[in-house]
């Protein structure tokens, strides 16, 4: 996991993001915004699973980012996770990059 206190922050997600870990994800993203991040690049390359709870957290992060003139970039997104994003219509909003 890496991040830095600047306008663009990078954050690497690893493993399984179910409802339990969505709270942790929300807290980490909020910390990045509190430290001045506008654009957050999330590296999803090591994510094995993501539930609707964590997708909602990403959506809230996107709304916060847009509110301060930034954005959320989802990088290295595994194909099966990408499919979920497309299914939910997230591909029309997020800057999505596959792995």
The site for another protein (CB under 8 A) is made up of 16, 18-20, 49, 51-53, 55-56, 59-60, 62-63, 66, 80, 84, 87-90, 92-93
Nearer to another protein, 16 or 35 (CB): 16
Shortest distance, CB of residue 6 to another protein, whole angstroms? Answer: 25
Shortest distance, CB of residue 20 to another protein, whole angstroms? Answer: 4
Residue 82 CA to residue 87 CA, distance in Å, equals: 9
What is the Cβ-side half-sphere exposure of residue 66, based on CA atoms within 13 angstroms?
9
Shortest distance, CB of residue 17 to another protein, whole angstroms? Answer: 11
Residue 90 CA to residue 59 CA, distance in Å, equals: 8
């Amino acid at each position: 996991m890496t991040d830095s206190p600047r306008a663009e922050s990078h954050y690497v997600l690893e493993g399984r993001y179910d409802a339990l870990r969505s709270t942790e994800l929300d807290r980490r993203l909020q910390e990045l915004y509190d430290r001045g991040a506008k654009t957050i690049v999330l590296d999803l390359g090591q994510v094995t699973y993501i539930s609707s709870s964590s997708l909602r957290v990403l959506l809230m992060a996107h709304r916060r980012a847009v509110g301060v003139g930034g954005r959320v970039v989802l990088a290295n997104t595994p194909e099966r996770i990408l499919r979920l994003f497309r299914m939910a219509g997230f591909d029309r909003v997020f800057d999505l990059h596959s792995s």
